[in-house]
Structure 1
Amino acid sequence: MYLEEVNQFKTIMLHVKKFLVSLLVLSFSLACFSQKYQLTNGKKFHKVKFELINNLMVIPVEVNGTELSFVLDSGVGTPILFNLSDQDSIQLNNVTEITINGLGEGDPINALKSTGNKVKLGNVQNLMQNIYVVMDAGINFSPNLGVPIHGIIGYDLFRDFVVDINYTNKSIKFYDPDSYTHRTAKNSRVLDLSVIRKKAYLNAHVLVKDDKEVPVKLLLDTGSSDAVWLFEDDQLKIPHKYYEDFLGKGLAGNIYGKRTKIHRLKISDFVLKDAKAAFPDMETFNSIMDFGGRNGSLGGEVLKRFNMVFDYGNRKLVLRKNANFNKMFTYNISGINLEHAGVRYVAERIADRNGVVHNNERTYGDVQIILQGATRLSLVPEIIVSGIRQGSPAHSAGLQEGDVILAVNGKRIYRYKLQEIMTMLNEKKHKKVKVLVERYNNNLLFSFVLKPLFD
């Protein structure tokens, strides 16, 4: 009897083990399945419109029911949230504390890791998305772009779809890889991609000086507004003509380096002459232990010159040059960096003494008060000088960090977006620019001439 009971017990335990193994396999399968992005409603693709702001693609993303704005950043792995001060109602699931590294001159930063979040882009959704949350209020890209930016998202979308980016009409199509058929046009090129540690790379060639072309492996970084970054080494030497510059902001702080131009950037048989380039200070990359053999990165100012299809699954990139291809590369020749710094009121008279309204156009602001039908009081963004390059025309003219910009060449800047104001300040070489600023409650007018940087 005892042996019979033992055998029955062994049989029961065997079934229990098989059930547990099956349950574990099922749970693992469901976890893998649910952590991927999928198209809903039987769709084969979903189209998303984006704003192109300072060469960056800003897309609408819904996180646990809250609508946010994200930069589509092919250089980021797990999505990162920041600038949540005005989004106190957002729900984040299963939160733990972590430390993450990022580009910049600072130390690693404390963050939160949240799991099991529902992320949607229209008919594209992931029911179990992991998200990092950076709580440092100093990490905020919104002031530099002039619009609210709540986070960055990238690899998971590129991994799960064939991603067709059309910079011409500012749209992205996310295709189901199983039903997508490549249609290669005559003027397009198919390039090999390598995807390493959630980042995509392609091979190109650069001609830095009047020497031989140098083969380079470049990170594809849609989250960089710059053109091309190169890492100095024995073959990639910094040209004699350059200037020290602020290159951008990373999660760990500001990034500085040497700004210059190179004779040629060649991607397949697409050739960009006199391409804008930068050699970042390598201290910026102290947190990166292994570059994977890369020599730099390609950012939005180059990528926007193509319409492209990313196919991570087949390790392919399809490029087709668009109307931006032959546009001149832009430089900050004035030396002024701008950012939003809160809001201010401006008053405008919109009617004459007889009560006839002559000026009733909207300003670049949402809050407006009409006083006695004759004066409009508008709440508009305040634009300040956030940085100024030593020795630049604006610096030599006397402008200072912290100056509030009121007008450029007689145009009141509250009617314009931040990037439009930057264009006014850097529009044409040899042009005279007049800038009206407020400093310590005094209005001051400065003028300077935009001098070419490399002539």
Structure 2
Amino acid sequence: MRFRVLTGVILLWCISYSGMAQKFQLPEGTKSQKVSFQLINNLIVMPLEVNGAKLNFILDSGVSKPILFNLSDQDSIELRNVSEITINGLGAGEPIKALNSQGNSFRIKKITNNKQQLFVVLDRDINFSPTLGIPVHGIIGFDLFRDFIVEVNYGRKSIRFHDPEHYRGDKSGKSHSIPITIEDRKAYVEGLVSFENLKDVPVKLLMDTGSSDAVWLFQDLEKGISIPEKHYVDYLGKGLNGSIFGKRTLVSKVQLGDFVLNDAKAAFPDMFSFSSIKDHGDRNGTVGGEILRRFNIVFNYRDGVVNLRKNSFFNDPFRFNMSGLELQHNGVRYIAERITDSRGVVKNDERAFGDVQILMENRTRLSLVPEIIVSGIRAGSPADEAGLREGDVILAVNGKSIHKYKLQEVLNMINEKKGKKVRLLIERYNSDLLFSFTLRDVFEKKP
């Protein structure tokens, strides 16, 4: 499955849901629980146990019920009270079959729920692990936001789940409170967008921590929401029903409350991908992780507010995929490293790479490392013009062997800044080839 790094999207809707009463709870006498997470591609990935199996879930405020979609690295997991259902979501494909499982035991550190409903998607293509670089098994959203005041500290990469009855709010006075509405188990916020320095347009946006993008907008000419002249067609992500394409662009500003983000990255998705959603109501789009991560946020569904406070990410520039390359893990490969110098003395190398190392004659080490391949190329991009192809195995970037880096670090290396020359050593049909290209502004016409 392709999931665009820095621009991918996870947006899933279920046709229907029902089941036993369920509630996440803290131990008696406990006022809150802190949970550390990994921030990968603007997404919150946190540990969660399902019926005793230790898994990784994305915290996704855009999803109604937990969905389990990847158990490839798990020996077994117990599923209780299972029946077959149909799940619908974004994309142009057909609805897919899934399992509805009732009465499952969920645990997040000391937080528990022993009557949790869970949907299980058996389609192997629904797997975000290769493109995120770590095992990811599912998504969870509304049930946690319903039962707790959820405080997300993107700067420290931690979440604190507060008992609503004991939460006393931010006493520092440094956060800004913005009203939200809860509709169909999702939170919506009102804001402003400005196109090409024209007047501000009021918009209603879904708050979606499960989208790695900045903001999606639905074209509405009557309201003044139109696609700017400078744009390009791109792959935006994947929903349950297939790939989502659209047009990428910049908007002059996005404003939430008193906070203004200038020259913000935006996308206009192909609305055919939303055909499964019969009524958008007055919604104008989505605000996702690339904007949300610039704040430390308290989600208070009970009182209908979110509290925003700037963090160290606030002034980060919005980044586009200048190379045009999409990368993902594709299994593993062995790499050989010499561990002695010219005199035969073992070098001081405390850092080993991969999960398996084999020493050969005390001079060479074989390590089993993830293989990274090109999973997609944007037409007309520098990488496309240089001759890169889907399936090429990335070996090195600017002389640096990529097995020493995480997937997201490699992506940053090939999209660092405008004007930088990138040299890629790749393997194609058992031959090593060297390609080079220069990064350019995605809205810049080819010279």
TM above 0.5, one fold?
yes
Deviations 1:163-186 (A, max 9, x none): 000001000000000111112533
Distance 1:351 1:172, change over 3 A: same
Could you tell me whether the CA contact under 8 Å between 1:364 and 1:416 is conserved in 2? no
Tell me how far apart the structure 2 counterparts of residues 309 and 146 of structure 1 sit (CA, whole Å): 28
1:51 aligns with 2:38: yes
Q: 1:166 aligns with which of 153, 157, 181?
A: 153
Aligned match of 2:187: 200
The 1-side partners of 2:360 and 2:305 are apart by 60
Counterpart for residue 23 of structure 2? 36
Q: Which residue number in structure 1 is paired with residue 79 of structure 2?
A: 92
Contact 1:340 1:381 (8 Å CA) reproduced: yes
**Residue 369 of structure 1: aligned partner:** 358
Q: Retained in 2: the 8 A contact 1:161–1:174?
A: yes
Q: Deviations over 1:204-240 (max 9, x none)?
A: 0000222111000000000011100001111110011
How far is the alpha carbon of 1:358 from its aligned partner? 1.7
Contact 1:37 1:126 in 2 (8 A): yes
1:420 partner SS: helix
Per the alignment, residue 267 of structure 1 pairs with 256
Please give the alpha-carbon distance, in whole angstroms, between the structure 2 residues aligned to 1:44 and 1:285.
Answer: 40
- Whether contact under 8 Å (1:309, 1:319) holds in the other structure is yes
2:239 matched to 1:250?
A: yes
Q: Which has the larger radius of gyration?
A: 1
Q: When the two structures are aligned, how many residues end up with a matched partner?
A: 425
Q: What is the CA–CA distance in structure 2 between the aligned matches of 1:359 and 1:143, rounded to whole Å?
A: 32
Q: Distance in 2 between matches of 1:33 and 1:152?
A: 20
- Greater mean alpha carbon deviation, residues 101-110 or residues 277-286: 101-110
Amino acid at match of 2:69: F
Aligned to 1:13: none
Deviations 1:347-382 (Å, cap 9, x if unpaired)? 011013543112524344111111111101000000
| Aligned counterparts, 1:178-217, within 5 A | 178-217=165-204
Question: Does residue 232 of the first structure (1) align with residue 232 of the second (2)?
Answer: no
SS, match of residue 408 in structure 2: helix
**Counterpart residue number, 1:22:** none
> Contact 1:79–1:154 (CA<8 Å) still a contact in 2?
yes
Does residue 311 (structure 1) correspond to residue 312 (structure 2)? The answer is no
Unaligned 5+ runs, structure 2: 1-17
Which among 390, 397, 411 is matched to residue 408 of structure 1? Answer: 397
**Distance in 1 separating the partners of 2:304 and 2:313:** 26
Quick one: distance in 2 between partners of 1:181 and 1:369?
55
The corresponding residue for 2:427 is 438
User: In structure 2, how many angstroms separate the alpha carbons of the residues matched to 1:48 and 1:320?
Assistant: 19
Give the aligned partner of residue 125 of structure 1.
112
Of residues 64-73 and 353-362 in structure 1, the stretch that sits farther from structure 2 once superposed is 353-362
User: In terms of mean alpha carbon deviation, does 437-446 or 361-370 score higher?
Assistant: 361-370
1:134 counterpart residue number: 121
Task: Please provide the CA RMSD for this pair.
Answer: 1.4
Distance 1:139 1:33 in 2: 27
Match of 1:241 in 2: 230
Q: Which residue of 1 aligns with 2:52?
A: 65
Residues in 2 aligned to 1:179 and 1:292: alpha-carbon distance in whole angstroms: 35
Structure 2 residue aligned with 1:447 = 436
Deviation at 1:86, TM superposition (A): 2.4
Q: What is the CA–CA distance in structure 2 between the aligned matches of 1:301 and 1:364, rounded to whole Å?
A: 30
* Equivalent pair of 1:364/1:417 in contact (CA under 8 Å): no
Residue 104 of structure 1, aligned match among 79, 84, 91: 91
CA–CA separation in structure 2 for the residues paired with 1:79 and 1:137: 18
- Measured after TM superposition, the shift of residue 33 of structure 1 is 9.1
Q: Output the CA distance in 2 between the equivalents of 1:326 and 1:114.
A: 43
Q: Normalising by the residue count of structure 2, what TM-score does the alignment of the two structures yield?
A: 0.93
Query: CA, structure 1 residues 207+127, in 2 after alignment: closer, same or farther (shift >3 Å)?
Result: same
- 2:37 aligned partner, one-letter code: F
Return the structure number with greater helix share: 1
Offset of residue 330 of structure 1: 1.0
1:276 is the counterpart of 2:265? yes
Pick the aligned partner of 2:68 from 78, 81, 101: 81
Counting aligned pairs with the same residue, the percent is: 60
Q: Does 1:425 align with 2:414?
A: yes
Distance 1:88 1:113, change over 3 A: farther
Provide the C-alpha distance between the structure 1 equivalents of 2:342 and 2:199, rounded to a whole number of angstroms. Answer: 71
Give the aligned residue type for 2:293. K
Q: CA deviation at 1:250?
A: 1.5
- SS of residue matched to 1:174: strand
